[in-house]
Structure 1
């Protein structure tokens, strides 16, 4: 009997620390995203990835966006250890102007500490404020039921500086659009980007965006709003 009791005691000694150390833990791939120069009346989108890095399920209890202009649909709210989930941040720029920050807060079962994400957009109303490039248009609206010939649009990119730049695509919704972005644009030159809808994009209306970056000192970024809906496009300003 004494040996049995000792064995049980030893098992408990080993199990108790394990139970105490088993905790949920959340890690982010990154916590900040810069959309750069962006248009009004667009829905800017970015995907953050939440990883469950602890020993227990990570529970996403709440996401506070701070305003009705920002939405945060979550792929799933229970994340098993080692698994990840996508958190999409959707910022409706509306009539905002200038540098705008949004800081959604993620509440989990980790404890009382709140985890904050940050997005920033420099919302412009005229072409002159987008130096060193002029991008026209910053908003693309597709008629998804208009036939394949209407499912391709072009964006004119003009380099108004005295330096050559390379362009790099940062993020885009690959299930909705295919993008042909010029690799380089010379000083004073103009290049064309081509945006084409995928078959999936024609199934239902959507609103999204894509972002590209140039290799200047500031890593300047530009985001283009892309929408698709049945019927006739609305009249919107081009910037």
Structure 2
């Protein structure tokens, strides 16, 4: 009898000391998701410990996912859920997102929950990001294409195609009932002076109820008379009292030759010297032994004889240990 009572007593003792967060599952697959839909699920859990469980934080990996527990405190043996919703409007194809749950479970203070799915669209846009590089600053027209098509709808319609920048034009052309091409063009001469790297946004409307408006970004980089490689200089983890040196190549791009009229560094311990190298020029950048401990961040400025590129700014970053 005593033995039976002892066994019964041991079975009624908590299996875990302290709070213990145990989820029924930590992964959920939404499967196929129509673009624009908001899908939801729940992650159920139980406090299997012998003290109050505190849900201290629930942090999704992106703003497209929301997750919030019903409450913060759960008694031993009490269960709860963390509802999770995902907005698919900004995504295409395979997606994987995480939700990190922080609690006072000493053995496992952070639990990572995973959601995944495959987002299919009424309207597919390729690309959604156009990169127009080395655009000459003249009257030449530089063109790119955005392809817009559907595999779900019987007929695709596009209207109200606009650009938020005057120097970027967008013209829709119907290829078939299921496909359109948007011709995007820019003229370097029309890009404001001083804006060598700029962006524009193309917006258009469709007849899809789930994707009534679509946006595509355009990145433009104007061709420079002098190509600088690399664009920045780094001297990280430099030893105190030891000099270091590196080279930046200055290559004529739209001109045959150029002159460097003046050089200036805003860091006293950074020196720079220009050397000719068979039509190109090299900038020798030296970190002197006068650099003090700590991080530094400065700029080398070169003045040239070119009207379209009168100055070249080369960032210099690093640290001395």
Q: Which has the larger radius of gyration?
A: 2
TM-score by length of 1: 0.44
TM-score by length of 2: 0.34
Higher relative contact order (CA 8 A, sep 6+): 1
The answer to which structure has the higher helix fraction is 1
The answer to which structure has the higher strand fraction is 2
